Structure 1
Amino acid sequence: MGIYGALTTAVSGLQAQSFALENISGNIANSQTVGYKRTDTSFADLVLGGDMNVRRQVAGSVQAFSRSTNDVQGTLAASSSSTSIGIRGSGFFLVQDQTGEIDGKPTFDSANLYTRRGDFEVDRNGYLVNGAGYFLMGAKLDPATGNAVGSTNEVIQLTKDFMPATATTAIDYRANLASVPQTTNYQAGDPTSWLLDPDITGDVTGARSEEFLASTISGDAVTVYDVKGGAHDVQFRWGKVANEDSSATPAVKDSWALFYMSNNEAGADDVAWTRVDADSSTGGQQNYEFDDKGFLTKPSNGIVTLNDLTIDGANLGAIALNHGTALTQFADTSGSAEVKQLTQDGASSGSITSIEIADGGLVNATYSNGKSRPLYRIPVVSFYAENRLAPVDGGAYAATIASGQPLEDANAEIMGQAIEQSNVDIADEFTKMIVTQQAYSANTRVVSTSDSMMQDALNMIR
């Protein structure tokens, strides 16, 4: 290599180090950009030629190339936003870019883009848009079943539709009934004083309400719903029918009767409290029975059907009263019914009050009736060569021939209320900058030295 060769090689070194510095400056500038992937610089030598047989090959110039780090995970940081999401593992969110507007509504490009920037927020039209203006895509779900509607992903748009009312079909009732209920009539040492009034053998009319209340204990209340979402309060009361007596023939078990208020405005001859049949298959009005250890034996499966449940004239149909194995009769000094669970599966209609993207990528809507349901599932796609994606503005990427087509089987996990930070390490970038600056300075010395040598050569002929 002659002087001119050394000069041009040094110039290529200056260009390569300038290129590296450009990447470093971009990384530092985006160290706080959500989901940013740093750009590293790699160098390749150019061989000018030479005779290998006589070992005359000489070093050549250098070229600088960018190398993506899409496969390097950034730190996941907690976010206060319920719609911010991050990816743990390898993969990308599907997004689309807005191309224009028609009647105030955005129009989209048909080509999908891919990003790891997950700082999504709901805009005025109900779309989930990240900080760079890209619109999130997902699979629409059937709110009733949670199954996907169709086989394609679409731009997510959250509407303000009401959640329809759901009629109550089942009540879960778990409680412990004190073996000695302290009713109003209760007298210590008198086993008959805490039993249900013997004159009450079935439903209770308004005329007998006072005696009924004095010989029973409260079983709490629950609000149930009809098909239109109308709310109806169901009040329960328990009356002990018999105390255990193993010496009797046949032996007598601890037995209880359950009632619910069916008419708040009942007259003297109207039914105010309806007695629950614990075993409708036998006919008549059967009692709840417990063994000597306090466990429920009848009904054997712990389920009772309230046929034609009617509250203040509103017929709610058949509702299952599910006790499971958690209705017991243990000793309790309070002498009351200690209710552990009294819930039902119905709901009134409701409007959306909040949107949340949960772990796993389900977009859930919470409604004013306290219920929630999934609306979309967010996919994560992967590529065989994710570092060969073509970057576009705003931390998004486009698929290329080199990257391959997206696959929806990414080995990744969506984390709710999280944001992936930039994978730039400031300390590492400053170290690179110092090394790059020194290499650039060294190349300038080569240029200066080459120029000096050329001047010396010219001075030889003077």
Structure 2
Amino acid sequence: MLGHTTRSLFHVREYAMSSIINAVHTAVSGLNSQSHAFTDLSNNIANSQTTGYKASTTSFEDYVTNNELANDGESLSDSVAATTRQHTDTQGMVTTSTNSTALAISGNGFFNVVHATGQSNDSTPVLGTQQYYTRNGDFSQDKNGYLVNTSGYYLEGYNVDATSGTLGTSLSAIQVPSSVAFRPTESTKLTATGTLDSSSTTPVGQGTDMKATAYDSTGTASTVDLTWTKVNDTTWTVKDANDTSNSATVTFDSTGAVSSVTSQNSAGTSSTSSTSFDYTGSPQDMTVSLSGVTLGSANTVSMTSDSVTSGTFSGISMGTDGSVMATFDNGYSQLVAKIPLTTFADPNSLSAQNGQAYTATSQSGSPQINAVNTNGAGTLTTGSIEESTTDLTGDLSKLIVAQQAYGANTKVVSTADQLLQTTLAMIQ
């Protein structure tokens, strides 16, 4: 009888010990999970004022294991685990900034950025090859003219080639140094002035030339050469020296002023004007004004274009279409780079890095580069930033709940310890 009692106490002790250990194990997993939640909440609260920060949340899940407490092959949940969930696709509030070069995205896109890995001997940053993506658009120019955000990431885009004036097709860090040269503006009008010899000094069938430098949309210079030929004392023709089918017949009145201009281009189209004709040719079609030409006693005609050819760099400005413009003291601005935005199939699966930056993963999908306001990439607001998505009030409330849950789990550990001591005392 005594042996039977001893065996019963043994089984009671074993069952009780197993139950208590499972309870402690579950409570400890609860403590770890609530600690994880504390970390996520504290990170959100700490970054409530961080530009472009995307708040995260904590997800809890239970674990089911086979244990001695299970009956008839059933399983019991005896632990909990916590994981961090990113919400990089959540839109933050766009607010006005005092920084005129700041940009805020409203949409799904990210800025393409790189990070410096060091500096060269002349203090120029050495940029890494790792591609990063960010929503922190608080960009400013550094001493080398690069656009850098407050986390130290360098903005990338399509830069305009300084020589050809054409927009590039591959991403590179945007740099606008103070030494950037002004590209002459596109010529739209040529103006002729001076006199044509109406005396016998210039016989019929002869004449003179007038030349001007004109510029295309990229600032490339071309020489326009127009030839004047005398028809009679009051009529002259003016032709393109490189395309004689592009011509005009100019008639002068009794005072020597231009009275009419009949032009014909290489396509065979003719038109009549009082003082000008349409030039078609290189570098582009332009209007040639002849009102400043009069009849006189000598051939002194000359010609100029309306292009602005000089200017001193004064700063940069940002456009809502992603254009980065260099501004000059002559009042003109010129495109120096274009900013695209990159989207992902699952932005919440991007890998978070320091400084509100992300890298692509197999789960996020491949980066898709888009022009601003296309394919859901979003729009840009200049002179603005995207605020943190932290819900400060909500996270503080969750913090209180997490604190209570943590305290409850510590109570379970304390109670289990008391039960363990009671159980051990039963068989002593």
Q: After TM superposition, is the score higher than 0.5? A: yes
Residue 376 (structure 2) pairs with residue 411 (structure 1): yes
Aligned to 1:182: none
- 1:162, CA displacement in angstroms? 2.2
Q: Answer yes or no: is 1:400 the counterpart of 2:365.
A: no
SS of the counterpart of 2:343? coil
How far does residue 280 in structure 1 lie from its aligned partner after superposition?
Answer: 4.3
Q: Is the 8 A contact 1:98 1:107 kept in 2?
A: yes
What is residue 53 of structure 2 aligned with on the other side? 36
Q: What do the CA deviations read for 1:165-207 (whole angstroms, capped 9, x no partner)?
A: 44754399xxxxxxxxxxxxxxxxxxxxxxxxxxxxxx9xxxx
Alignment of 1:117-136 (within 5 A): 117-136=136-155
Shift of 1:456: 1.7
Note the 1:206-355 alignment, pairs <5 A.
275-280=257-262, 305-307=288-290, 309=292, 315-317=302-304, 346-355=307-316
Instruction: Give the secondary structure class of the aligned counterpart of 2:404.
Output: helix
Match of 1:369 in 2: 330
Q: Is the 8 A contact 2:344 2:365 kept in 1?
A: yes
Change in 2 beyond 3 A, CA 1:11/1:157: same
Asked if residue 446 in structure 1 is aligned to residue 412 in structure 2, the reply is yes
CA contact (8 A) 1:360 1:415 kept: no
Do the aligned partners of 1:168 and 1:226 also contact (CA within 8 Å) in 2?
A: no
1:459 aligns with 2:425: yes
Q: 1:137 to 1:277 in 2, by over 3 A?
A: farther
Structure 1 54/305 Cα, relative in aligned 2: closer, same or farther at 3 Å?
same
Cα separation, 2, equivalents of 1:456 and 1:166: 93
Instruction: Tell me: CA distance 1:54–1:353, structure 2 relative to 1, closer, same or farther (3 Å).
Output: same
Change in 2 beyond 3 A, CA 1:97/1:169: same
- What residue is the counterpart of 1:85 in the other structure? 103
Tell me: CA distance 1:7–1:147, structure 2 relative to 1, closer, same or farther (3 Å): same
Q: Distance in 2 between matches of 1:429 and 1:72?
A: 16
Conservation of the 8 A alpha-carbon contact between 1:86 and 1:414: yes
Q: Distance in 2 between matches of 1:310 and 1:370?
A: 31
Q: For each residue in 1:111-168, what CA deviation from the matched residue of structure 2 results, as whole angstroms up to 9, or x when unmatched? A: 111111000001110100000111000012358998532x211111113222144475
Question: Contact between 1:166 and 1:227, CA under 8 Å: does it hold in 2?
Answer: no
- TM-score normalised to structure 1 length: 0.64
1:149-188 matched pairs, under 5 angstroms: 149=168, 151-159=169-177, 160-166=179-185, 169-170=188-189
- Which runs of no fewer than 5 residues in structure 1 stay unpaired? 173-202, 204-224, 230-272, 289-297, 320-344
Confirm or deny: 8 A CA contact 1:117 1:130 kept in the other structure: yes
> 1:29: Cα distance to partner?
0.5
Unaligned residue ranges in structure 2 (runs of 5+): 1-17, 196-211, 220-254, 265-271, 278-285, 295-299
Q: State the partner residue of 2:398.
A: 432
Task: Give me the whole-angstrom Cα distance separating, in 2, the residues matched to 1:34 and 1:397.
Answer: 14
Deviates more, 1:400-409 or 1:158-167: 158-167
Corresponding letter in the other structure for 1:34:
T
- Residue deviations 1:351-389 (CA, integer Å, cap 9, x gap): 221211110211111111111111111111111221121
**TM-score when scaled to structure 2?**
0.68
Distance in 2, Cα, partners of 1:72 & 1:364: 30
d(CA) in 1 for partners of 2:405, 2:80? 12
The CA distance in 2 between the partners of 1:10 and 1:113, in whole Å, is: 40
SS in 1 for 2:381: strand
Instruction: Name which of 61, 74, 84 aligns with 1:66.
Output: 84
Q: In the alignment, is the contact (CA less than 8 A) between 1:355 and 1:366 conserved in 2?
A: yes
SS at match of 2:64: coil
CA distance in 1: counterparts of 2:101 and 2:369, whole angstroms: 21
Asked if structure 1 preserves the Cα contact closer than 8 Å seen for 2:104 and 2:380, the reply is: yes
Q: What is the letter of the counterpart of residue 39 of structure 1?
A: S
Could you say which structure has the higher strand fraction?
Answer: 2
Contact between 1:166 and 1:226, CA under 8 Å: does it hold in 2? Answer: no
Q: RMSD in angstroms over aligned alpha carbons? A: 3.3
Cα pair distance change 1:444/1:286, threshold 3 Å: closer
- Work out whether residues 74 and 421 of structure 1, in 8 Å CA contact, stay in contact via their aligned partners in 2: yes
Change over 3 Å in CA distance of 1:146–1:382 after alignment to 2:
farther
